[in-house]
Structure 1
């Protein structure tokens, strides 16, 4: 079973606050230091100290720069560092996603292309380590599900290299699209672009505190220490047990009824929906008014993608409106395992059913590419991938496999 992390952003969120909260809740700083060496970077060190933020005791993690790193890291350089590292694949992937979100937000804020962004928030190595350390820390703690509260972005104005800006700044505002935010507390910036990009990547839902059993609590301190205000990030860490149920997240269901759309358009509509972040898309045949045959276009999406999904439905179909509702969704802990078959390799999506049982399915696209390249039947490639994974699972002592 994995673990669930709930992030309470009552005083905003930043990269160093995330890192401090993870250490405070149980992440070994010594282990984190060792694992970060996989980045093959030198010239910095992680420092830890206990501080007060208002009435709270919190952990402050600082990335102290010892030498080098006096020039900003470009997005391409960041990707290369991650690619060349020996970090776990999931940590590399999620870290890249954080930086891609940051580049897109900075690009929107300053009206430049993503590839031309010069990072202000992750311009030097300290914020880079905050991001990778936060992702790596969750991995080391065995976190499989992350949820978060609405985010307090602060109030007032901030002075930047571009002049005086309102809170939240343009990059935070862009990253907050689809995430519930509010303004409270001292007149300063409480949520940073790095913190928002981490939440956008890790959190599956935003809302009230979920039901947690035997949760550990940690506090990560921010740099600012406004008088009388507890400027810290609080996290709750709990095991996903049978008693607390399978991991649950919140998704949005967008639906509309169609009876006058050319069926040839459905494939294009579905492709567009998946391209903007839809988790699942279904076409359900129904009988509509006046006994006309029709189709319900039903789409599941994370809250962060709702605007884009609705825009595709309204632009690409004849619909004049959509129905929107939030749903709880229980999901199995899952992972990807790559197996070798004649002609290439196939990713297997593995879901943990419980009690030592699991179910595994080959990725269709991987099998299709091998079938096209080799001229072999697609069914044979998929069967070979299942057999290869079954042998791998048996060598690792699994109770069994359901596929």
Structure 2
């Protein structure tokens, strides 16, 4: 069973079988909460992802009066890591606007800030709709605000340390019953959690308590690309994060499974090939080639379509002259793109051409690292791309747009600017 959450983006990471290098599977068989997620990430014990590292990162927030720790505990019969947040002093309540400012004004990595705010936005948007207030006025009260900030930022910090290409999750269990809150007695699942999980596959589960909190719901929704059964994967690490509930003998645990796609592990021949040190210096990419045959368009229209594809995130585009049935001359339009950009590519091709179908092929591309440099010429400045392999520049290529701009500005021939760019770059 597989359900694509991001169907509006034509998410083909699993639907087309594109095998990414690293996979994280969220096995939320007994629900998910913020502390369970952080505990499970710590339990993976990847790279530097320990509690001391997390403490040092959280110091970048201007947040005081709390401490964190992690401990191995038994939940049911399973050993798991419990993430503990101890709020030691009275805290002021904070609204969503305050929390965004707190995160943005920190010295955390920009990707950590973005992910943290994305998760908080999901929660605040849900609370805003439920309580009928502005999203910026949504309050996270006292201790709960600190707990939420620490859980969410910790999740973002640890996730950012991982080299993850795709995240999958099982369906999300909800639980049932009621729970007492500062707003009174409310049903389980909490209204905010239910609002957040719109569009996400869920089920009740045999739980008479809350198993998925709003924070956990927001985390799984933001991080997950597809909700599916465990994909083909070579397992490397398993992380277990403990929750707070007494499951009456059943473990209250979130399980994270980290590994590589089975195609990457692949036949022995690939394992041997990738052992060569050359691959340590190359960027290995999983891309798609789109192609379609057009026999009723003029060269001008074909040129326009290629230009539009480039502007719509295509990595490369080209057209080939071909001979179709009944000896009709035609064009084969081709575009290279990332899997996540497929929807935009297809929409454009179907909108701008008369084609009834587009072929999609999965490919591997190995690319050298590239750096964009500025080169000063006697009459101006241009940009030059440098290809880097094993720490050495092996190829340089003046940037076309940059050279054209200087040619128009100075009146010099374009080929002369190209020649000078290569000469002055090489003579540095």
**TM class, shorter-length:** 0.5 to 0.7
CA distance in 2, matches of 1:23, 1:366: 47
Aligned residues between the structures? 357
> Max radius of gyration: which structure?
2
Shift of 1:266: 1.5
Structure 1: stretches of 5+ with no match in the other structure: 392-403
CA distance in 1, matches of 2:149, 2:396: 35
The structure 2 residue matched to 1:265, chosen from 304, 313, 328, is 304
* C-alpha spacing 1:16/1:40, structure 2 compared with 1 (3 Å): same
Residue number in structure 1 paired with 2:317: 282
Q: TM-score, normalised by structure 1?
A: 0.62
Shift of 1:29: 0.6
* C-alpha spacing 1:189/1:218, structure 2 compared with 1 (3 Å): closer
* C-alpha spacing 1:126/1:323, structure 2 compared with 1 (3 Å): farther
Shift of 1:149: 3.5
Residue number in structure 2 paired with 1:318: 354
* C-alpha spacing 1:209/1:184, structure 2 compared with 1 (3 Å): farther
Say if 2:70 is the partner of 1:48: yes
* C-alpha spacing 1:298/1:135, structure 2 compared with 1 (3 Å): same
SS of residue in 2 equivalent to 1:9: strand
* C-alpha spacing 1:337/1:292, structure 2 compared with 1 (3 Å): closer
Say if 2:58 is the partner of 1:33: no
1:138-287 paired onto structure 2 within 5 Å = 138-140=159-161, 143-154=162-173, 169-173=194-198, 185-186=205-206, 190=212, 192-200=217-225, 208-211=231-234, 215-223=236-244, 226-227=247-248, 228=250, 231-236=253-258, 243=271, 245=274, 254-261=290-297, 262-263=301-302, 265-267=304-306, 269-270=308-309, 273-274=312-313, 280-287=315-322
CA distance in 2, matches of 1:83, 1:94: 10
Residue number in structure 1 paired with 2:156: 135
Contact 1:39 1:81 in 2 (8 A): yes
The structure 2 residue matched to 1:70, chosen from 84, 93, 97, is 93
Shift of 1:370: 9.8
SS of residue in 1 equivalent to 2:231: coil
Shift of 1:25: 2.3
* C-alpha spacing 1:42/1:106, structure 2 compared with 1 (3 Å): closer
CA distance in 2, matches of 1:119, 1:349: 49
Shift of 1:230: 5.1
Residue number in structure 2 paired with 1:397: none
CA distance in 1, matches of 2:211, 2:118: 22
Residue number in structure 2 paired with 1:19: 38
Q: TM-score, normalised by structure 2?
A: 0.59
Shift of 1:330: 6.1
Residue number in structure 1 paired with 2:9: none
Residue number in structure 2 paired with 1:7: 24
Contact 2:116 2:152 in 1 (8 A): yes
SS of residue in 2 equivalent to 1:220: strand
* C-alpha spacing 1:55/1:136, structure 2 compared with 1 (3 Å): same
Residue number in structure 1 paired with 2:83: 61
SS of residue in 2 equivalent to 1:50: strand
Contact 1:224 1:231 in 2 (8 A): no
Shift of 1:33: 0.5
Q: What whole-Å deviation, never above 9, does each CA across 1:67-110 have from its counterpart, x for those lacking one?
A: 43512223x962x54554333xxx31354156347647976998
SS of residue in 2 equivalent to 1:49: strand
| CA RMSD across the alignment | 5.5
Contact 2:94 2:145 in 1 (8 A): yes
Contact 1:5 1:146 in 2 (8 A): yes
SS of residue in 1 equivalent to 2:43: helix
CA distance in 1, matches of 2:381, 2:157: 30
1:318-357 paired onto structure 2 within 5 Å = 318-324=354-360, 327=362, 329=364
Q: What whole-Å deviation, never above 9, does each CA across 1:321-369 have from its counterpart, x for those lacking one?
A: 33456x36466797x9887876999898987x6x777879899699689
Residue number in structure 1 paired with 2:3: none
Contact 1:51 1:57 in 2 (8 A): yes
| Stretch deviating more after TM superposition (124-133 or 27-36) | 124-133
* C-alpha spacing 1:196/1:249, structure 2 compared with 1 (3 Å): farther
* C-alpha spacing 1:373/1:296, structure 2 compared with 1 (3 Å): closer
Contact 1:254 1:299 in 2 (8 A): yes
Shift of 1:34: 1.1
